[in-house]
Chain A
Amino acid sequence: MAKGDPGASTRGRRAAPRSRKAVTGDPELVQLLTPAGERIDSVTGPDGTEYRVDFTDEEYRGLYRDLVLVRKLDAEATALQRQGELGIWASLLGQEAAQVGSGRALRTQDMAFPTYREHGVLYCRGIDPIMPLGLFRGVDQGGWDPNEFKFNMYTIVIGAQTLHATGYAMGVTMDGRTGTDDGEAVIAYFGDGASSQGDVNESFVWAGVFNAPLVFFCQNNQYAISEPLERQTRIPLYRRAAGFGFPGTRVDGNDVLATYAVTRHALDNARHGQGPSLIEAYTYRMGAHTTSDDPTRYRIASEVEAWQAKDPIARMKAFLEREKIADEGFFTDIDEQARREAIDLRERVLAMPDPEPVTLFDHVYPNGSPLLDEQRAQFSRYLESFEGSVH
């Protein structure tokens, strides 16, 4: 087994997990790293799948670096919004492990369909973190090439992307790109609120019927803006999968190791032609829904504090220290790297030029439109009429 593979196996091993303190008291929560940073060698999921990771020290440190950088860049974006440089920002604070764990579980050939909060996954896909800031600053609507990075555009309409992911995954099957180790898999991100959307439920139906090589990755961050999970569902979300005919697993979304293991396993099943599955990454949105929101109106401080104790980065740091995988110098270096990248991000955001007004007519249609040509020409003449005027 290659280093870095989770070693997720279904071959009949039923090793009882080492002592595990489930963060929710849910016995079905897959966890490999406790909030205190205690490593669990392996854990058996409710369907008998054994999850484990076998990373090198360098890989463990890499995951920690990802978590810290993603949080720092996110904090910088929040600050930029507060200073009026972004119109709005949807922070991922608290969800770093769910995103880095699943993002690093993707293989190069896998395709991801994000919501608008997957900045951590975007980072893992190698996309310049300034790209989503262009969207939230209002200079464009997302500047990366989805096919180059295998990471689709952000989707703001809740749940719509799960159908896109399903169709894309159907295309993977039609292209004959499943059934081998280098087959392709697709991941669809969505949240607990989206689980109520018709599109998400339709995508479950379709993915099941067409055996699509697709992982539904639900970050259950407990709130859909202000509405708690209880307003979306009567049963744990991962159990919905059973009704659609595919496996569902709940993983500790604040545990980067477990999230990696569970996601990698599900993706590899998909690429081998074993069809879709649902992962519920049980996590918590530590910040506001977006910078326009005030979470103190709908949740109590003690709840936030309880989740603070399950912080994804703190537990990883405790693990690295406990196992002597990293020393103080490493942590200082990572913090310094994060600080520099945040400054760089800030400087580049402030330098982003506003787009030329007439470019608003660009790319409406691949083949253009005479109506738009006419409107563009008229608007250009209108703008030119101001040239040379004082006011």
Chain B
Amino acid sequence: MATETLTLGKALNIGLRKALENDPKVVIMGEDVGKLGGVFRITDGLQKDFGDQRVIDTPLAESGIIGTAVGLAIRGYRPVCEIQFDGFVYPAYDQIVSQVAKMHYRSRGKLNIPMVIRIPFGGGIGAVEHHSESPEAYFAHTAGLKVVSCASPQDAYVMIQQAIVSDDPIVFLEPKRRYWEKGQVDLDAPLAEAYPLHAARVARAGTDATLLAYGPMVRTCLDAAAAAAEDGRDLEVIDLRTLSPLDLGVVYESVRRTGRAVVVHEAPSNVGLGAEIAARITEECFYSLESPVLRVTGFDTPYPAARMEEEYLPDLDRVLDAVDRTFGW
């Protein structure tokens, strides 16, 4: 068994390589994805091995990347588009929302757009503006798109391949601040037997309260749970993994046991994923709740200058503060 210790970024790289190997219709396209291997090196070495018709350096135009990928998809290709940073996806927003998301529906199922849109998202790397945003709610709100986010090297490796194999158009959010974190990855496990793409999973079992997170905040919540354990509080952490559609069965089951839920994301709270999740938990678990569902999020400001991002981003202390409040209700 080829279990290796890999960074999340390298796990994605190997996952993309497998996808290119397994299906000649898979093409990678984006800015600087060729010789440079992408600004985060996620496509490192792929153009060298698969050629510039499979790993395509595109003109610097995001709408063009997604719009031409729609045409390639109609032609029978499976485009994997890299948007260089979260804050640069908006020029492509019309193509994603009006074209990618709706083509299958408008054609009454005659056209599929089996596209993956990879976006490094979230903050915490000290970047300048437009490089640290969390746009997931825009896409999760759009019917016809599916949205997922990986939080560990193992999931990164498997989920990127599952997303590429899927006929659904998928926005694939990569937690850029976790690209360099390492974990064990089983490179040989058959994809068909892997944990499903659109399913949440308990990342840490616990009994006293439930933390809900995805992408970069899973690590933050696991750290918070470890700290809480030292204080004698046993927190369950659920990695949501799929943001649209949400998979909340495991969440309901958890909250019915713990009676307390805290949703954590970097994106602003107003009309964010946390609001939807809190509403659904309230509908399903009303009589089990010991406190309202709380949210720990970025603030409803533009993403701040880097020297303030530690204040903006949810961290261990803010998560535990919210947990404390659920017990003080």
Interfacial residues, chain A to chain B (CB-CB below 8 A): 113, 140-143, 145-147, 152-153, 155, 157, 160, 162-172, 174-175, 198-199, 202-203, 205-206, 209, 362-367, 369-372
Say whether B254 faces chain A, with CB atoms less than 8 Å apart.
no
A155 partner residues in chain B, CB cutoff 8 A? 99
A363 partner residues in chain B, CB cutoff 8 A? 104-105, 107-109
B108 partner residues in chain A, CB cutoff 8 A? 140-141, 143, 362-363
Give complex CA distance A170, B106 in Å: 24
Are A371 and B67 in touch, CB under 8 angstroms? no
B99 partner residues in chain A, CB cutoff 8 A? 155, 157, 160, 164
Q: Which 8 A-B pairs have CB atoms at the shortest separation, nearest pair first? A: A167-B71, A163-B67, A171-B75, A167-B68, A168-B71, A366-B167, A202-B64, A164-B71
- Within 8 Å by CB of A367, from B66, B98, B166, lies B166
Say whether B53 faces chain A, with CB atoms less than 8 Å apart.
yes
From A207, which residue of chain B is reached at the shortest CB distance?
B68
From A365, which residue of chain B is reached at the shortest CB distance?
B168
Are B64 and A163 in touch, CB under 8 angstroms? yes
Say whether B61 faces chain A, with CB atoms less than 8 Å apart.
yes
Say whether B77 faces chain A, with CB atoms less than 8 Å apart.
yes
A167, A206, A364 — most chain B CB neighbours (10 Å): A167
Q: Chain A nearest CB: distance from B169 CB in Å?
A: 8
Say whether B288 faces chain A, with CB atoms less than 8 Å apart.
no
Give complex CA distance A165, B105 in Å: 19
The proximity string for B residues 81-101 relative to A, scoring 1 for CB distances below 8 Å and 0 otherwise, is: 000000000010011001100
Are A163 and B70 in touch, CB under 8 angstroms? yes
Say whether B307 faces chain A, with CB atoms less than 8 Å apart.
no
Give complex CA distance A146, B71 in Å: 12
Q: Chain B nearest CB: distance from A125 CB in Å?
A: 15
From A212, which residue of chain B is reached at the shortest CB distance?
B68
Of residues 85 to 134 in B, which have CB atoms within 8 Å of A's CB atoms?
91, 94-95, 98-99, 103-112, 114
Are A198 and B63 in touch, CB under 8 angstroms? yes
Q: Contacts A172-B75, A202-B64, A367-B167: A145 and B144 contacting too (C-beta < 8 A)?
A: no
Say whether B137 faces chain A, with CB atoms less than 8 Å apart.
no
Q: Chain A nearest CB: distance from B253 CB in Å?
A: 15
Say whether B189 faces chain A, with CB atoms less than 8 Å apart.
no
Using a Cβ–Cβ cut-off of 8 Å, how many residues does chain B contribute to the interface with A? Answer: 45
Are B74 and A164 in touch, CB under 8 angstroms? yes
Of residues 142 to 194 in B, which have CB atoms within 8 Å of A's CB atoms?
143-144, 146, 166-168
Interfacial residues, chain B to chain A (CB-CB below 8 A): 27, 53, 58-59, 61, 63-64, 66-77, 79, 91, 94-95, 98-99, 103-112, 114, 143-144, 146, 166-168, 245-247
Are B95 and A206 in touch, CB under 8 angstroms? no
Q: Chain A nearest CB: distance from B132 CB in Å?
A: 25
Q: Chain B nearest CB: distance from A237 CB in Å?
A: 20
Give complex CA distance A365, B169 in Å: 8
- Within 8 Å by CB of A206, from B59, B143, B245, B246, lies B59
Are A153 and B107 in touch, CB under 8 angstroms? yes
Are A364 and B72 in touch, CB under 8 angstroms? no
Give complex CA distance A165, B74 in Å: 9
Mind listing 10 A-B residue pairs with CB under 8 Å?
A142-B107, A147-B74, A165-B71, A167-B67, A171-B72, A174-B53, A198-B63, A362-B109, A366-B104, A371-B245
B112 partner residues in chain A, CB cutoff 8 A? 366
Give complex CA distance A157, B94 in Å: 9
Q: Contacts A140-B108, A157-B98, A160-B94: A168 and B74 contacting too (C-beta < 8 A)?
A: yes
From A214, which residue of chain B is reached at the shortest CB distance?
B71
B70, B73, B94, B168 — most chain A CB neighbours (10 Å): B70
Are B109 and A166 in touch, CB under 8 angstroms? no
A143 partner residues in chain B, CB cutoff 8 A? 108
Are B74 and A199 in touch, CB under 8 angstroms? no
Are B64 and A205 in touch, CB under 8 angstroms? yes
Are B74 and A206 in touch, CB under 8 angstroms? no
Are B98 and A170 in touch, CB under 8 angstroms? no
Give complex CA distance A286, B68 in Å: 33
Give complex CA distance A255, B74 in Å: 32
Are B71 and A141 in touch, CB under 8 angstroms? no
A146, A198, A209, A364 — most chain B CB neighbours (10 Å): A364
Further contacts, 11 of them, CB under 8 A, given A171-B76, A364-B104, A364-B143: A147-B74, A153-B111, A166-B64, A166-B68, A167-B68, A168-B71, A170-B72, A172-B75, A174-B27, A206-B64, A367-B166
B77 partner residues in chain A, CB cutoff 8 A? 171, 174
Give complex CA distance A370, B246 in Å: 9
Q: Chain A nearest CB: distance from B34 CB in Å?
A: 13
From A167, which residue of chain B is reached at the shortest CB distance?
B71
From B58, which residue of chain A is reached at the shortest CB distance?
A206
Q: Contacts A163-B63, A163-B95: A367 and B168 contacting too (C-beta < 8 A)?
A: yes
